[in-house]
Structure 1
Amino acid sequence: MIVLVVTAHPGECSLTSALSAVTRTTLADAGHIVIESDFYAMAWGPALREEQFGTETVKIERLP
């Protein structure tokens, strides 16, 4: 099985980081393919900025 482990925490000594490490090691030792994605390390922002929107507008029809 391919497993994606996603974290987003600035502290390398945090509980989140420790749980992520145990999870990755346990799954890899069990033969799974483990992919890690650290949103904090990627400087990922949870909110879209205006310049990230395209120039095209889409008309959304709502149900009554």
Structure 2
Amino acid sequence: VSGFSDWSLELSRPWLGIDLNLIYSNSNLSGDGCDAYSGINTYCDSVVTLKAQRSFF
């Protein structure tokens, strides 16, 4: 792999004292390039993550 691109989009919003984050990430890797760079995401699929965080103190 001589080069690749990856990107992500994150949307954040506070809600009832909780910080919510919706994150989408992807890359243009495919085939053998996935084996070299993808780590645990061996199929080079896009990933959507929802994170909810609240401080207790």
Shared fold (TM-score, shorter chain, > 0.5): no
Query: RCO higher in 1 or 2 (8 Å CA, sep ≥ 6)?
Result: 1
- Larger Cα-atom Rg: 1
Greater share of strand: 2
Higher helix share: 1
